[in-house]
Structure formats: structure tokens, C-alpha cells
């Protein structure tokens, strides 16, 4: 779903992909200082109103001063926008080396409130004036902790907003096949934090990269597109975890000119059996490995994932394995909504269509 933005005289109403109160919804990446975003005073047109999946509104009369992020996804976007100095804490911090260059250095300075979900009491007592959440689609009131109610957020003086590209996936009944949701999140965060100029720069960069790929391979007939399996090695090998049609990785794979072999499964992730992978016999396999903190450690993990596929009796006969069609691209830039999704589109397309994508 492509978002729309209305610029009014009294307010900026963003029905884009940053949302507030959605309880059950579903750049360049090169690491230089320019892509990281310089820390500058917030400037922008206020009030700014953001809406959720259901149309509920949250209004900002000025840029927030104290932000807490639920995980690395929203933290990275704020860092790239140049609003990282406003972040007083995060949950699910990015691993060392996960973010490129200057972004990694800045991320290391952000206080870690929890290695996973931020405990309810700590979040409500954090002193934040806004909490950016990515977990609405994950049923936070279930197995991942006791989430505050909207009334408790209000009582603590915290505006609770979401990244719609991840939080509202469950409400989007269609497959994610483009990055407009991610781009709209960036636009919305830019408006809220007074960094709209940087947001436009990041979104334009993403569109330029994806547009170049689409120009080169976008018209390839569906039945001529190679089939593709994202092998989430770190999720375990006993029973593979597939990325389904509502996960951002499905959009990345599709835009790169490939066919996700599990694009027919509903939701964002689903545990499947190796017999399911074998029956779909992918042309290419991405070795989805999470960042280990160094290039050497990452390469070792990629080697391990490849060796497992080549030695396992259930997978060594797969077409991709026999032909050595492996892509060494990390999990984070593929499955976490962010600027580097566009870079991953390029990397996949270059591997699958040699000579066609610059």
C-alpha cells in the first residue's frame, strides 16, 4: 500500500506508514557520515499528525526531545535522519558492527534499556515523551512480555507510535512487493522529528537504486524469474523458518527480480518443513546470517550455513546447492525495514542477472 501525504496550513497529516495506537496491526547503506545524517536542530512544520492503520491520530506540536525505540529498526532510522541524539534508550540493540561505520559508533552511545523487549515498568518510567514501537504485529501482550496499555502510556506522558511497515503487516492482506511502506515510515519519522529534508534524501536514494534495478529486470516475465529461498540459518536448521508474503524480505526479493518460494504463505514468518523447501527446489538460496560483529566472523558464519546445506541429506540435492547458487547477504538488511533494503535489492539483482544490473 502506497501512502499519501497531505500538507495543510494548520497541520501536516501523514497517513503514511508511521502509526499511533495500532494494537494489532500487522539510503545508501555505505556507512559514510553523509548517510549517517548530521545531528542538527529539528526544523519543520508543526503541528504534525500521524495516523495508524485504523485512522486514529496522534499529534505533535513540536519535535520530541526524549525518544525510546523498541529495537534496532527504528533506532537506525532515527540515526540516519540525524535525530539520534534524542534517543535516550532502546530495546533489542543492534549487534556490534551491524550498522555501517559512523552509524555503528552512534548506536553504541545509546543506552540499552533491555536486550530484548523493554520491561513495562522500565519503559513507563524512562522519561520518554515518545516510544517508537515495531512490534504491534507480534502480539506483545502474549509471549513477549506485558505491554503497557494506551491509558498507561498516556498517564506516563508517552506518545506511543509505531513503524507501520512492520507493525501493521497483519492488517495488510496483500503481499508486500514494494518498499513504499518503509519509505513512508522514513518520511513520517522525518516530519515528526523535524528532519524532513534528510528523510527526502534517504527516500530518494532508495527509489533511485530500486528504480535502476526495475528498469533493468522489472519487466522479466514471472515464469522467467529465478526462484529464491531465504535460509534463516540463525533461526535453526531442524525446522526452517520461511519469510512469507507480508515480511519486508518478500518485497526485497520481488523487487530484485526473483520469486520468493514461500510468497504464498500468509503472515510474515512461518515454520515449514525441509520437505516443503525440497518440493519448491529454489534456484538461489540466500545464506541469511545475522551480523557477528566482524567481517571474519560473518564469513565464518556464511561458510557454516553453506556447509550445512551441502552436507545435509535433505538439502544437498537442491538445485541451488548443487549449482553453488548462494548469496552471502546478512539477515538484518533483508528482513528489517530500513534504508539498506534498497541496497539488498541491488545485491540480489546483480547476482541473479549478471551484466544487466550496474
pLDDT digit string, tens, across residues 224-236: 999 999 999 999 9
Q: Rounded CA gap, 303 and 354, in Å?
A: 23
207 phi, psi to nearest 5 deg: -65, -35
Q: What is the dihedral of CA 307, 308, 313, 316, to 10 degrees?
A: -50
The pLDDT value recorded for residue 349 is 98
d(CA 278, CA 286): 15
* pLDDT confidence of residue 98: 82
Rounded mean pLDDT, 178-207: 96
- Can you give the pLDDT at residue 266? 87
Number of H helices, E strands in the chain: 14, 15
Pairwise pLDDT comparison (238 vs 33), residue with the higher score:
238
Nearest residue to 139 via CA among 167, 159, 173, 104? 167
Residue 13, pLDDT > 70, answer no
Task: Evaluate if residue 127 carries a pLDDT over 80.
Answer: yes
Q: Output the pLDDT for position 96.
A: 80
Asked if pLDDT for residue 130 goes beyond 70, the answer is yes
- Tell me: the pLDDT tens digits for 245-280? 999 999 999 999 999 999 999 888 999 999 999 999
Crossing angle (nearest 10°) for helices 196-217 and 72-81: 110
Percent of the chain with pLDDT over 90: 69
Q: Are 145 and 119 in contact (CB under 8 A)?
A: yes
The pLDDT of residue 141 is: 36
Q: Is the pLDDT of residue 10 over 60?
A: no
Of 206, 207, 195, 208, which is closest to residue 81 (Cα–Cα)?
195
Residue 7 has pLDDT above 90, yes or no: no
Average pLDDT, the chain: 86
What residues contact 209, with CB distance under 8 A and at least 6 apart?
A: 342, 343, 345, 346
**In b/e form, how buried is each residue of 16-25, taking b as 16+ CB within 10 angstroms?**
bbbbbbbbeb
pTM exceeding 0.75? yes
Please report the domains of the chain, with CATH numbers, ordered by start residue: 5-204 (3.40.50.1980), 219-352 (3.40.50.1980)
Amino acid at each position: 500500500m502506497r501512502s499519501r501525504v497531505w500538507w495543510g496550513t494548520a497541520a501536516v497529516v501523514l497517513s503514511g506508514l508511521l502509526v499511533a495506537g495500532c494494537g494489532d496491526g500487522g539510503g545508501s547503506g555505505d556507512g559514510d557520515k553523509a548517510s549517517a545524517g548530521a545531528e542538527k536542530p529539528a526544523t519543520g512544520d508543526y503541528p504534525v499528525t500521524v495516523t495508524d492503520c485504523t485512522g486514529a491520530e496522534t499529534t505533535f506540536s513540536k519535535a520530541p526531545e526524549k525518544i525510546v525505540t523498541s529495537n534496532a529498526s527504528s533506532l537506525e532510522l532515527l540515526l540516519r535522519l540525524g535525530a539520534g541524539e534524542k534517543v535516550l534508550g532502546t530495546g533489542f540493540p543492534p549487534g556490534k558492527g551491524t550498522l555501517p561505520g559512523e552509524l555503528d559508533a552512534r548506536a553504541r552511545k545509546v543506552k540499552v534499556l533491555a536486550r530484548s523487549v523493554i520491561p513495562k515498568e522500565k519503559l513507563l518510567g524512562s522519561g520518554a515523551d515518545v516510544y517508537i514501537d515495531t512490534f504491534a504485529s507480534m502480539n506483545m501482550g502474549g509471549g513477549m512480555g506485558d505491554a503497557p496499555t494506551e491509558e498507561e502510556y498516556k498517564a506516563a506522558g508517552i506518545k506511543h507510535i509505531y513503524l507501520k511497515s512492520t507493525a501493521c503487516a497483519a492488517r495488510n492482506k496483500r503481499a508486500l512487493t514494494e518498499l513504499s511502506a518503509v519509505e513512508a515510515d522514513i518520511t513520517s519519522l522525518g516530519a515528526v522529528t523535524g528532519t524532513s529534508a534528510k528523510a527526502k534524501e534517504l527516500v530518494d536514494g532508495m527509489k533511485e537504486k530500486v528504480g535502476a534495478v526495475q528498469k533493468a529486470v522489472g519487466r522479466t516475465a514471472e515464469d522467467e524469474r529465478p526462484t529464491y529461498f531465504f535460509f534463516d540459518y540463525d533461526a535453526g536448521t531442524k525446522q526452517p523458518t520461511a519469510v512469507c508474503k507480508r515480511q519486508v524480505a518478500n518485497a526485497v526479493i520481488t523487487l530484485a527480480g526473483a520469486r520468493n518460494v514461500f510468497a504464498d504463505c500468509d503472515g510474515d514468518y512461518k515454520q515449514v518443513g525441509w520437505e516443503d523447501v525440497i518440493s519448491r527446489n529454489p534456484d538461489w538460496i540466500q545464506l541469511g546470517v545475522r551480523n557477528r560483529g566482524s567481517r571474519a566472523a560473518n564469513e565464518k558464519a556464511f561458510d557454516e550455513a553453506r556447509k550445512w546445506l551441502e552436507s545435509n541429506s535433505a538439502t544437498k540435492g537442491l538445485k541451488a546447492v548443487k549449482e553453488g547458487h548462494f548469496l552471502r547477504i546478512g539477515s538484518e538488511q533483508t528482513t528489517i525495514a530500513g534504508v539498506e533494503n534498497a541496497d539488498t535489492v541491488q545485491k540480489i539483482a546483480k547476482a541473479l542477472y549478471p551484466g544487466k544490473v550496474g
